[in-house]
Amino acid sequence: MKIGEPEKFIIDGKRLDGRKPGELRKVKIEVGVLKKADGSAYVEWGGNKVLAACYGPREVHPKHLARADRAILRCTYSMAPFSVTDRKRPGPDRRSIEISKVTRQALEPVVFTNLFPRTAIDVFIEILQAQAGTRCTGIVAASMALADAGIPMRNLVPACAAGKVGGEIVLDLSDVEDNFGEADLPVAIVPQKDEVTLIQMDGNFEKGEFEKAFKLAVEGCMKIYEIQKEALKKRYGGA
C-alpha cells in the first residue's frame, strides 16, 4: 500500500467523497467571463477551476503556419503554479504539451475551419486549481469559449472520464481515486454523431471492463453536454 492510499474506495455503495459509482462531481459552467477575449468560459468541476479564452479567427503569426484552405486551431493548456499543492514550475512541460495536443484533436472535428482560410483560432486554457480530470475540464471549457466567441461549430464537445477503483467501475475520478485507482479513461465525444474525439487510458482494465467504463464515460459526457447547453442558454437565452 502506498502512503495516503485508502484501505477501501467504496463503503456501503458510496465513494469516499459520498458519491455513488455513476455520479459526477458538481459541475458549474459560465460563459462570457472575460471582457478582452473574443470568447471565454469558466468551469468548476469538483475541485477543478479552469478558465478558457478564445481569440480569433485572426491573422496567423508566424505567417508560414497559415493554411490556404482553412483556419488553424491552436490550443494551449497551462497549469498555474498555484494550481497544485507543491508549486508547479511555470511554463510548458511534456504533460501540458501532450494535453494541448489532445485538446486540439478533441475540438478540431467540430470547428468549421474551412470558413476562415488563412486565419488562426487560438484557445488558451488556464488551470487555476487542479483536482484530477483537468484535461476533460479543459476541453469542456475550451469548447464553451469557442462557442462564446461565435466560432461556427457542428456541436459542443463534452468530455468526462470513467475509471476503476477498488475493483469497481466509477464515473469521474476524484484526486484520491485518480492517484490510487487501477485505471482512468478520459473520453470526449461529439453528441449525436457517435464520434469519439478523445480517448486515453491510464492503468489497466480486465476483460469486459473497458466497455463498461467507456459506456459510463459517454453517459457522463451526455450529462456534461446538458450543463454546457444550459450555460449557453443562461448567457444568450433562446431554446
Q: Which of 23, 175, 195, 219 binds ligand ADP (CB under 6 A)?
A: 175
* Distance of alpha carbon 168 from alpha carbon 148, whole angstroms: 38
Residue 173 carries which DSSP code?
-
Query: Minimum distance between the CB of residue 79 and ligand ADP, rounded to whole angstroms?
Result: 6
Q: Where are the alpha helices (DSSP H) in the chain?
A: 94-107, 134-148, 175-180, 209-236
Q: What is the grid cell recorded at 26?
A: 458538481
Q: Which is nearer to ligand ADP, 66 or 196 (CB)?
A: 196
Q: How far is the CB of 48 from ligand ADP (least distance, A)?
A: 7
Other CB atoms within a 10 A radius of the CB of residue 228 amount to: 26
Q: Is 178 in the site for ligand ADP (CB under 6 A)?
A: yes
Asked whether position 108 contacts ligand ADP by CB under 6 A, the answer is: no
Among 134, 174, 197, 228, binds ligand ADP (CB under 6 A): 134
Nearer to ligand ADP, 19 or 38 (CB): 19
Residue 131 binds ligand ADP, judged by CB under 6 A: yes
All cell numbers assigned to 168: 469497481
Site for ligand ADP (CB under 6 A): which residue of 24, 66, 84, 196? 84
State yes or no: residue 130 binds ligand ADP (CB under 6 A).
yes
**Is residue 219 involved in binding ligand ADP (CB under 6 A)?**
no
Cα–Cα distance for residue pair 137/19, rounded to 1 Å: 19
Q: d(Cα 212, Cα 22) in Å, to the nearest integer?
A: 11
**In whole angstroms, what is the distance from residue 2 CA to residue 19 CA?**
23
**Interface with ligand ADP by CB under 6 A: which range of 28-36, 84-92, 102-110, 187-195?**
84-92
Site string (19-58) toward ligand ADP, x via CB under 6 A: ----------------------------------------
Beta-carbon contacts of residue 221 (< 8 Å; ≥ 6 apart): 158, 159, 160, 187, 188, 189, 191
The interaxial angle of helices 134-148 and 94-107, nearest 10 deg, is 50
CB nearer to ligand ADP: give 120 or 127: 127
Which residues are at the interface with ligand ADP (CB under 6 A)?
84, 86, 88, 95, 130-135, 175, 178
